[in-house]
Structure 1
Amino acid sequence: MRVDDDITVLFSDDNWGNIKYLPKEDLNRKGGYGMYYHLDYVGAPVSYRWLNVTQIERIWEQMKLTYDHGVKNLWIVNVGDLKPMEFPISFFLDYAWNPQAIQAADLPKYYTNWASAQFGPAHAGEIAELLARYTKYNARRTPEMLTADTYSVENYREADRVVGEYNSLAEKARQVYNQLGGTYKAAFYELVLSPIEMSANLNEMYVSAGKNKYYGEHGAVAANYYAERTRELFAKDAQLAKAYHELEGGKWNHMMTQTHIGYTYWDHPPLNMMPPVSYVQVPKKAAELGYLLEYGERPQWGWLDVEADWAFSTSLPLFDKINKQECYVDVLNRGEEQLTYTIKAKEDWVRLSKEQGTVQYNDKVYVTIDWSKVPQGSVTGTIVLAGAGQEYAITVPIRNNVPAASGFVENNGVVAIEAPHFTKKVDTKEAHWTVVPNLGRTTSSLILEPVTAKTQTPRANAPRVEYEFTVFTAGNVTVDAYLSPTQDFNKQGGLKYAIAIDNENPQVVNLNAGETKPDWEYPEWWTKSVGDHIKIKQSRHKVTTAGKHTLTIWALDPGVVFQKFVLNGEGKPKASYLGAPESVYHKPF
């Protein structure tokens, strides 16, 4: 289509905050260019419009691309209802007023300045942290897209960590609320405390539903506890909305009536629907002992004597003196009456958080190692769990001989590294690395600036970052790069980076490879990347020796946003939404 020179051409994001197209030429056309951006959206894969789920850091990164590529005449932002989008609206307009005045390093100060303007300077720093954290947590996955399976109950304590982060944030927000003067209380409740409490409650509800399923599948009475807990938290969601609507005599009545629980389609359900839960039939008999091990294999149905019983994993994962792991034994009650149990280690170097207990549902006992007492050589400890006439032996394997370690250290086949935590950074005259604080699902992110830089070449002239890491065994390694879901906005074959371990030839990875869009549907790659707020690109490598190695990343195209790298050795990686938490960093003396 030919457009007259005096007409403004308006581009847009993909409805999820990712710019789709930017002009490649004719930047001096009379009508100029504009951008239509979203903080709120009705459509596929699932609408998001209940609470703010947008990080200002992502607005900054995408709208910087927009501005620096010559899209300067008109910026429009879709906000749905003005509430609860006050904070990202403020940032969008302030940034639009003077994009050159706010650089990546200025973003943390924006939170503080905004909080000070709304609530005074006394608690501005604390409120800034609350705003930065809750928008980060909500941007991991929109509330409308949460399910009982989003966060892993089994691996990396992910579900518990997410709930703990939200609940800790809610407690800090309540402390600030109680310290504020009366003039600020209602505004703080509406802008900060209420969305944090609602989000914390919703995430715990879905995690409780996940635990209900997890314990039910393992024949544990704890399933019934989490079914009831899910019901309680579902009811609390309505109570929190009611409190919001009654604030200041109903000043903001109905603003939280947007349904947000129980989506089965892109549009909202007619009413909030609690996630499904199940109840187990508790045998009408005395207590029965069972257990699960952290990172143990899922038990399969088996036969002991003539009765059906569970076959349990009998070994904890490997412990080593660099990672100093802590793993748990989840003691389960599978009967009607309370269970009294004992748990003891045969070796004095195996430490237990407790040696006995009485439980109705389940109880976690944490296992650590006293490395000052571990004998030399290959050794294995034993834990004996007993109760209700049953006894189980659990082995505690030790990796006592580890190679000289430096950098991020393998933990049971996995090395996880946050992108900004590089060992070495190399910039060039043409382009340089920039850390964008708080951007992403876990810590911060790395981008290439200027965002209009030409495509670089690996090894020859590209900026690079290096990460030292240590593995305990040689073999094949896959590297999962966690990247923001940036679109191929310049339509020149995709955005690329290069990757290598040690001195191997760099592999060029295309962030947008295979991203084609049929005319009649939303493609699967897009619905997954915007739902997860991440793209994971995988490369395969080989390390020939145990010990220290170097992972090198070259930035080739601006627009690639690096969040995290996870290296997996041979074997099946543990499934989780956020990926393995960052590995221990070891610096030799």
Structure 2
Amino acid sequence: MYNKLIIKIVFTLFFIIGSSVQAQLITDTKPSTNTFPLASTASFPLIQKGMVPAILTDKNDAEVVTIVANAVAFDFELVSGNKPATIHQRTNEEYLIIAGTIGKSKVIDGLIKSKKIKVSQIQNKWESYTITTVNNPIPGVKQALVIAGSDRRGTAYGLFEISKLAGVSPWVWWADVKPKPKKELYVLAGTMNQREPSVKYRGIFINDEDWGLNPWAAKNMDKDIKDIGPKTYAKVFELLLRLRANLIWPAMHDSTKAFWYYPDNPKVADKYAIVIGSTHCDMMLRSNTFEWQENYVHEYGHKPGEYRYDTNKKEVSKYWEDRVNAAKNYEAMYTVGMRGVRDGNIVGPTTKEGKIALMDTIIQDQRKIFKKYFGAENKALQIFCPYKEVLGLYTGGLKIPDDVTLVWTDDNYGYIRQLSNSKEQKRSGSSGIYYHLSYLGGPHDYTWLSSTSPSLIAYEMTKAYQFGADKFWVVNVGDIKPAEMEIQFFLDMAWDMKKWSPENAGQYAQFWAESTFGTALAPEIATIKKEYYQLAHSGKPEHMGFLHFDDASKKKRLKDYSSLVEKVNTAKKNVPAFLQNAFFELIEYPANCAALMNDKFFYAQMSMEVKTNNKTLALEYSQKSKDALEKIISLTKYYNKEIENGKWDGIITNAPRNLATYGMPEISNPEILSDSLRNPKEYDHRYLRLDPVNAASVAEFISVKAADFKTKNEIPSEKIITVEGLGLGGESVSRYPFTGKSFDKNNFDKAPYVEYEVNLKTGNYQLSLKSLPNKAINKERNLNLAVVINNQKPQFLDTDNSREDKNWSASIVRGYFEKQLAFATEKEGIVKIRIYILDTGLALSRIDINKQ
């Protein structure tokens, strides 16, 4: 039993931590040299008989080290029942946890000097740390567990790693994931070195917080200011450190005063070692919605002129410079360029040439401000975000200084617009990504539940990383809750790109469920999460008010969601009491509410379809639709009022922006509705049709999963991969790595291909290829396929979904881009369909064949 356990621990910890010199092992059974061949009597008692050694830090170290040490002490109190002391002076304890930053901690520097710890692999590195057991580290101490960081965040991450390995989730506070109690926990002797993260700056953007985070913070956290303030941000920043992030784009919506309005906000960020940034539309760390439109008079004593640089340069420039002056002693990152207030277009010249010339002047002047306060133009961290209309200016010829980081964006729905070309990849400022897990805007918001799958995130972000986006990743998380798993996956990838890729991202749900709910529950919970993501891929819960499914698709979807809810209810019975709240927040609420949104709309539609022929059935369907909405309201109320005695009161609303989609749709029996369920808003009935062909009613309709190819042909240094959890049907095939070469009409037959065999009768057919609705990687590439049927002449298809028109809208909400072609068969029998994948970044999900 014990030999099997030690092997399991070795592999688990290598999987969690990454590269190490020796395996850093933790076990809840006291090791002995007789039982554990890899252990020794020097195993460190992290918890022994419920007691935890004191945590020693240097008072002159960065403040974040003490803050995190105290947080870890609280963590161990949850695990062991006893809170360890956090001290700055050594006591006479036999065992000690020592944490500090190289060059900032006398104890750590002393251990280095005496050669009791080796730090050559992490010294002078970015956010790195070592964890090691040391015998007789200092006089009077028998043994210590030493965490040494290369910098202040490295030390913080190392401390939280100990908590994590003891069973404390990063979501211990934010999702009430309480750890399993332990009375014994030991660290086997050894050393682990955590090297630099894959992406240098990694963080979140709190956005559209009006309907959740802001009212919750005002009611429960920053009660004195009734806003998102320093108490809320302290909890956010602790979460970021637990997730090994280092950057914040603060909340900036109308409901929230600017981050810098409250002097303690940047102070708290500095205490937690968090880099402060600002969004793609709020340049130079300003928050224009509040600071220019509302608070300018308070700050400057007079009303501002127009927020435009060509006619109001003096006022705008001073506005920016004052913020740089206020922020110069903080670790901050400045967005350069200019856009309009409230995410609008830049105000000024009407021509593209004029806008480019003005933007060039703006950036040059902003760089002069940096030179004044930092000594050189390139000494301040700077990003330029070619988002929305700014992308057109950049591609139109706008020159960006080489040291400024280019931050590419997705299309707001998870599909990256473009990445660095070969020339841009050589820039010293490198590039980064602004990504969305939540979005307010057209064709429709998705700010309620979070349903972007790890597989899609992995596909897009791996593509970005392979094209040089390694400097900066920020993700729009809305109100943080309920996007917990998706946030963690995004940041886990940013921390270690080698660990998660498109090929294994489908396994993340299992990994996350094990670390959150334990090994026994993990398979059930992983299945729930995978099915939840897959159902949402072809229709997010927030989009159900303007999507239309055919009858067969409705029935299947209702059945699948009913099965999902059954799985949730079954799993819940086995969840221990101390994790019930976490299960509700992370699993039950999103899965059940997604199912209920489908019930609400489908049964409403079905009631209207039968209202003239079957009034009894129409009433039954109407009642089911009404019951679904009432259940959503009830679950939301429970989340806000009952969980942890009202801890989350206000954090979740089932009707963000009070949009019609969250209300009651039209039913055949409206008299059964109470006044509170009557929705005065009208729906957009210009439905986007999904799967308009009812396969059951078509005589000759064949659907083939792209992953079910008969043969495939790869080329040197490349492979064709099947990505689990990606695209229509839950699997897609793609070329990998994404840096592979492109092919064209002249050499298409040299490209990798997949080939399918189907049995067809003679006749005319329509072939429909359904792929992920993404875009060509950059302007040097396309997103093309070549299709050869029975050795006939090839047909070439462009699957690029870059043009944001009606087809783009339909594609992103239904989860696939469709291309069709016609072909004929003259003989009955096997037909071979060979599909050459001419470009990387193209993910093929399904092939449908319909006889004409």
- The within-5 A match list for 1:3-14 is 3-14=400-411
Alignment match of 1:146 (pick from 522, 544, 562):
544
What is the deviation of 1:268?
A: 4.6
Residue 460 (str. 1) matches residue 749 (str. 2): yes
CA distance 1:274–1:280, change in 2 (3 Å): closer
Alignment of 1:157-556 (within 5 A): 157-216=552-611, 221-245=616-640, 246-259=642-655, 268-269=658-659, 272-279=662-669, 412-457=699-744, 460-471=749-760, 473-492=761-780, 494-512=782-800, 516=803, 523-556=805-838
More helix by share: 2
Aligned to 1:405: none
Q: 1:499 to 1:484 in 2, by over 3 A?
A: same
Supply the AA of the counterpart residue of 2:652: M
Q: Deviations over 1:75-115 (max 9, x none)?
A: 11010111000000000000011112223332233211211
Q: Secondary structure at the match of 2:712?
A: strand
Question: Relative to 1, partners in 2 of residues 1:247 and 1:119: Cα closer, same or farther, differing over 3 Å?
Answer: same
Q: Give the drift of 1:270.
A: 7.7
Report the Cα distance in structure 2 between the residues aligned to 1:280 and 1:273, rounded to whole angstroms: 13
Cα distance in 2 between the residues matched to 1:271 and 1:544:
49
Task: Report the residue type matching 1:237 in the other structure.
Answer: I
Task: Tell me what 1:15 maps to.
Answer: 412
- Please, which runs of 5 or more residues in structure 2 have no aligned partner? 1-397, 672-694
**SS of alignment partner, residue 478 of structure 2:** coil
Counterpart AA for 2:589: S
Q: Which residue of 1 aligns with 2:243?
A: none
Q: Which has the higher strand share?
A: 1
**Alpha carbons of 1:491 and 1:459: their partners in 2 closer, same or farther (altered >3 Å)?**
closer
Larger Rg: 2
Bigger relative CO (Cα 8 Å, ≥ 6 apart): 1
**Alpha-carbon deviations, 1:519-543, whole Å to 9, x = none?**
xxxx222222222221111111111
CA distance in 1, matches of 2:419, 2:501: 21
Q: State the alpha-carbon separation in 2 of the partners of residues 326 and 226 from structure 1.
A: 23
CA apart distance, 1:217: 6.2
Deviation at 1:443, TM superposition (A): 2.4
The question of whether the paired residues in 2 share the 8 Å contact of 1:414 and 1:566 is answered with: yes
| Counterparts of 2:817 and 2:668, CA distance in 1 | 33
Aligned to 2:212: none
Amino acid at match of 1:167: S
SS in 2 for 1:49: coil
* Secondary structure of the structure 1 residue equivalent to 2:426: coil
The answer to whether the 8 A contact 2:481-2:651 is kept is yes
Do 1:148 and 1:206's aligned partners in 2 also have CA atoms closer than 8 Å?
no
TM-superposed deviation, 1:445? 0.7
* Counterpart mapping for 1:119-130 below 5 A: 119-130=517-528
Closer, same or farther: CA 34–412 of 1 in aligned 2, 3 Å: same
Q: Which runs of 4+ in 1 moved over 6 A?
A: none
- Call closer, same or farther: CA 1:172–1:540 in 2, change over 3 Å: same
Asked whether the equivalents of residues 221 and 280 of structure 1 are also in contact (C-alpha less than 8 Å), the reply is: no
Q: Which structure 2 residues correspond to residues 51-90 of structure 1 after superposition, within 5 A? A: 51-90=449-488
Contact kept in structure 2, 1:484 and 1:563, CA below 8 Å: yes
**Structure 1: runs of 5+ lacking an equivalent:** 261-266, 282-324, 328-410, 518-522, 571-589
CA contact (8 A) 2:452 2:486 kept: yes
Distance 1:220 1:481 in 2: 41
Q: How far off its partner does 1:430 sit?
A: 4.9
Closer, same or farther in 2 for the Cα pair 1:271/1:108, shift >3 Å? closer
In 2, the alpha carbon distance for the partners of 1:114 and 1:326 equals: 38
Q: How far does residue 432 in structure 1 lie from its aligned partner after superposition?
A: 2.0
CA distance in 1, matches of 2:632, 2:455: 29
Aligned mates of 1:326, 1:32 — CA distance in 2: 52
Aligned length: 428
Query: TM-score if structure 1 supplies the norm length?
Result: 0.69
Do the aligned residues in 1 keep the contact of 2:633 with 2:654 (CA within 8 Å)?
A: no
1:108 aligns with 2:495: no
Q: Secondary structure at the match of 1:417?
A: strand
Residue 730 of structure 2 aligns to a residue whose secondary structure is coil
Instruction: Quote the residue 1:34 is aligned against.
Output: 432
Q: What amino acid maps onto 2:754 in structure 1?
A: V
Q: Deviations over 1:458-484 (max 9, x none)?
A: 65311111111112x311111111111
**Equivalent position amino acid for 1:469 in 2:** V
Instruction: Say which SS state the counterpart of residue 150 (structure 1) adopts.
Output: strand
Percent identity reads 28
Partner of 2:399: 2
Paired amino acid for 2:399: R
Instruction: Describe the superposition over 1:284-316 as per-residue Cα deviations: whole angstroms up to 9, x where unpaired.
Output: xxxxxxxxxxxxxxxxxxxxxxxxxxxxxxxxx
CA distance in 1, matches of 2:480, 2:613: 46
Give the Cα separation in 1 of the matches to 2:655 and 2:483. Answer: 17
Q: AA paired with 1:244?
A: Y
Contact kept, 8 Å, 2:751 with 2:836, in 1: the verdict is yes
Shift of 1:123: 1.1
